[in-house]
Structure formats: C-alpha cells, structure tokens
Amino acid sequence: MCEGVRRSMSLYEQKVPTVGYIKNLSSLPEDLSNLSLGTNTTKMQRAIVEYYRRNPNFAVVSFDLLDETGDILYSSDSLFGRPFDERPVVNSVDLTSYSFSDYSLDVLSSLGFDTSSGWNGDTAFLIYNDGDVLIGESDYYSYTTVSKLLQYEALYAATIASDASEVKVKDFPIRNELLRSKSDFNYPKRPVTSSSGGVLIFNTPKGWRLLVGRRSQNVSINKGMVSIFPNGSVEYDDLWGGGFDTSARRELGEELFDDNIQEGNEFINNYCTTKRVSCGWNVRDGGMLFGHLFISPHVEGYKTFMEKQKLNDEVTGIVEIDIFNPKEVNRFVNLDSMSGGAVSTVYYALEEFDQNESYPDLPYTIRKRLK
C-alpha cells in the first residue's frame, strides 16, 4: 500500500520506482525476525563493502594509518563512496519547489518500524549533477523504507553466504536496480536524502581528544557502537540561507544541548573553528554525505561543553579518543565499532587537523585508497 503521494516527480525524466515495486524486487524472507540490524551492523556493512569492491565504476574509500617510514599501522574500510574517475564537489545548490512522498506503512511494519510512535518529519532529497545540486522536499518514511530494505538485503546476503567476503552480487537485487552505477548515485532512480555530520576534536586538560558518543541498546541500529555527533539528515529548511553545515549545527543543538539549537550555535561560534572536510555518497543507502570538522582549540571550550552538554536518549555517554594514539583511534574508528559513513568523516577530519599548521602534527599519516 502506498500512501501520501504529494506531487508527481516531474523533476525526474524517468518513472520513479514505487516502494511496492522495490519490495517486490527483494529476495528477503517474509519473516525477518532472525535478521537483526541492531546487533549485526558490522556484518551488514562488510557485505556492502564487498559488493562495491566488485564494482568497476563505483568505489568505497578505505583508510590506512602509516608510520613515519610509510609502513601500515592499521587499516579501516568505510561506506563512503565515489566514482573511480571523479571526486564530487558542490559548486551550486538550487532549492526547487518539488516534493516527493511514497511510503508503505505495511512495509515499514514488516521491517520492524513502529509507525505508531515514529516520526515522519520533512527532510530534503538531493540530485547531484556535475557539481550542481538540486534540492527537493520529502519525508522521513519515504526515505527510511527503502534504506531499511537495502540494509536488510545486505544483511541477508551476508547471512546466506559462508562469510561476508563471499557474498554474491546476485543476492542484492534491490541494490543492483537502484545503486549499481555512477548515474544511480548522481541521478538516483528514486529520491534519496543527504546527511551532514560533524567531528568534534577538542583540546582537553589531557590533550587533544576526539569526542564521540556511545549509542544505547535501545536504538534500532548500531547498538552499543560509537557514533560521531552531531550527525543527521539534511532538512529542507536548513538550506534556506544556509549550507550543509547548517544541518550539522542544528543537529549539535538537538543532540548535545537538549534541543536548544541557539545554545549549540552560540557554543560553536564562541569556541570552535569549522570546516567541511568531505563530500561523497554513503553507499549504505545512496544518500550524499557531507562531513565537517569542529575544532575547539582552547581548554575553556572543552570545559564549557562538558558543563552544558545534555545528551539525547540515543546516547549513553561520551567517549574521548586520544588522536595521537593510532592504536586507540583504530580501536574505535572502524566498521566493527562505528557506522561506515561516520568512519570516513572521522578520518577526513583527522587529516584536516594534521595538515593545519595551527595544530600539532599527528604521529601518523592518513592514506586514502579506493577499492
């Protein structure tokens, strides 16, 4: 059943595949009770990495930490993707009047989503065209339905294989239809959201630390793992007079300052320097991913943050990672401990910190590889 279609998607030249069509592509079993995204995030993520390792046109980015002689200390995969032949950049953003809504309460229910208490707020969808970005308006249910189907498909492909490294491309029928080629990401067959995240690197009494959150056991995905904050979907209103960093700033206020966006913005303005560090695609579901670095160079900023922060109920506490200890960085920033999109944002942020002459050099070098 398809509900809530607000406007025909004339922004697209081709017919937009509906949720019903996409669900029918799936080879998923009817009963998904044996598939838990919450406790099998790593398995799902590694299956997606393996899928794109076999793709001749679209790659995922991996990161190596190198010592002073150039030897590899640690390596980590991510779910940050881009074409082999092109590094995406954003030259212009065009806010359109187009809106899109197509979701199924029945499908959401079959995927374990509680729509009786769920939120279906507005979000933005994005089309990327050689540096020009078109933005339209959609809703959370329309995005999350297909996102969940793609995630369950990857987990199922890994489950029926002997190992995540042995997954078969044919066992990804939805991904093969929607997210196989370069054009599938640049000009998606169905509108996808974009997300904007920030990496907090603060000068603390114990030295420079990366601050991440420990996720609770009550969330639907990434249970008990660590996560960057702020991080969340780009909302349509964020881009009126703002940029993708506006979303990260808003999320900081919502996630870390008890939904007080003004207080979050005041903290950033008073204590942080900011910079966008990455732009690409989260291959988990095809959304564009924007990463930002928030550096607080003075201990006073850290102390103020710790006094004022109020975590939301998805996070049980703050983890402080010594960025000068590569072993500790690798312990937390990998597909076993963190979502694959966040992994990439952290490493791009650390690279920016290391290259900035205002801050001390890290005792390792970060190398990026396309797989």
CA–CA separation, 35 and 60 (whole Å): 25
What is the arithmetic mean of pLDDT over 181-198?
91
210 or 186, higher pLDDT: 210
Q: How many CB atoms lie within 10 A of CB 248?
A: 30
**Does residue 298 form part of some domain?**
yes
pLDDT (tens digit per residue) in 320-356: 999 999 999 999 999 999 999 999 999 999 999 999 9
The pair of structure tokens assigned to 78 is 């991510």
pLDDT of residue 8: 35
Q: Are strands 92-99 and 132-139 parallel, antiparallel or unpaired?
A: parallel
Through-space distance between the first and last CA atoms of the chain, rounded to whole angstroms:
39
313 pLDDT higher than 80: no
CA–CA separation, 367 and 67 (whole Å): 11
272 or 230, higher pLDDT: 272
**Does residue 224 form part of some domain?**
yes
Q: Mark which of 170, 186, 202 sits at the end of a domain.
A: 186
Do 246 and 321 fall into the same domain?
A: yes
pLDDT (tens digit per residue) in 35-60: 988 889 999 999 999 999 999 989 99
pLDDT of residue 13: 53
pTM of the predicted model, to two decimals?
0.94
Do 201 and 321 fall into the same domain?
A: yes
- Tally of domains within the chain: 2
Q: Percent of the chain at pLDDT above 90?
A: 70
CATH number, domain containing residue 270: 3.90.79.10
The pair of structure tokens assigned to 189 is 């067959």
Residue 323 DSSP label:
T
**Structural domain harbouring 342:** 194-370
CA–CA separation, 8 and 16 (whole Å): 9
Q: Mark which of 186, 212, 229 sits at the end of a domain.
A: 186
pLDDT (tens digit per residue) in 191-217: 889 999 999 999 999 999 999 998 876
pLDDT (tens digit per residue) in 71-94: 999 999 999 999 998 889 999 999
Do 182 and 202 fall into the same domain?
A: no
**Does residue 198 form part of some domain?**
yes
Do 321 and 254 fall into the same domain?
A: yes
Q: Are strands 194-204 and 287-296 parallel, antiparallel or unpaired?
A: parallel
The pair of structure tokens assigned to 368 is 């990026």
105 or 4, higher pLDDT: 105
Write the CB contacts of 313 (distance below 8 Å, at least 6 apart in sequence).
216, 218
Write the CB contacts of 318 (distance below 8 Å, at least 6 apart in sequence).
211, 212, 213, 214, 309, 311
**Does residue 96 form part of some domain?**
yes
Confidence of residue 6 (pLDDT cuts 50, 70, 90): very low
Q: Are strands 194-204 and 132-139 parallel, antiparallel or unpaired?
A: unpaired
Do 141 and 258 fall into the same domain?
A: no
pLDDT of residue 221: 67
Confidence of residue 97 (pLDDT cuts 50, 70, 90): confident
Do 319 and 245 fall into the same domain?
A: yes
**Does residue 10 form part of some domain?**
no
**Does residue 135 form part of some domain?**
yes
What is the arithmetic mean of pLDDT over 155-171?
93
Do 155 and 268 fall into the same domain?
A: no
Q: Percent of the chain at pLDDT above 70?
A: 95
* Residue among 184, 165, 126 at smallest CA distance from 48: 165
Do 342 and 235 fall into the same domain?
A: yes
CA–CA separation, 349 and 277 (whole Å): 6
Is the CB of residue 276 less than 8 Å from the CB of residue 93?
no
Do 132 and 106 fall into the same domain?
A: yes
Is the CB of residue 88 less than 8 Å from the CB of residue 289?
no
Q: What rounded mean pLDDT belongs to the chain?
A: 91
Q: Mark which of 155, 186, 217 sits at the end of a domain.
A: 186
Do 202 and 58 fall into the same domain?
A: no
**Does residue 8 form part of some domain?**
no
Burial class of residue 365, CB neighbours in 10 A (0-12, 13-18, 19+): middle
Write the CB contacts of 221 (distance below 8 Å, at least 6 apart in sequence).
37, 38, 41, 151, 339
Q: Give the containing element (helix H, strand E) for 320.
A: strand 315-322
pLDDT of residue 312: 76
CA–CA separation, 335 and 339 (whole Å): 6
Confidence of residue 11 (pLDDT cuts 50, 70, 90): low
Do 124 and 76 fall into the same domain?
A: yes
Residue 166 DSSP label:
G
pLDDT of residue 51: 97
Helix, strand, or coil (residue 304)? helix
* Residue among 87, 105, 122 at smallest CA distance from 193: 122
CA–CA separation, 244 and 291 (whole Å): 9
Do 61 and 45 fall into the same domain?
A: yes
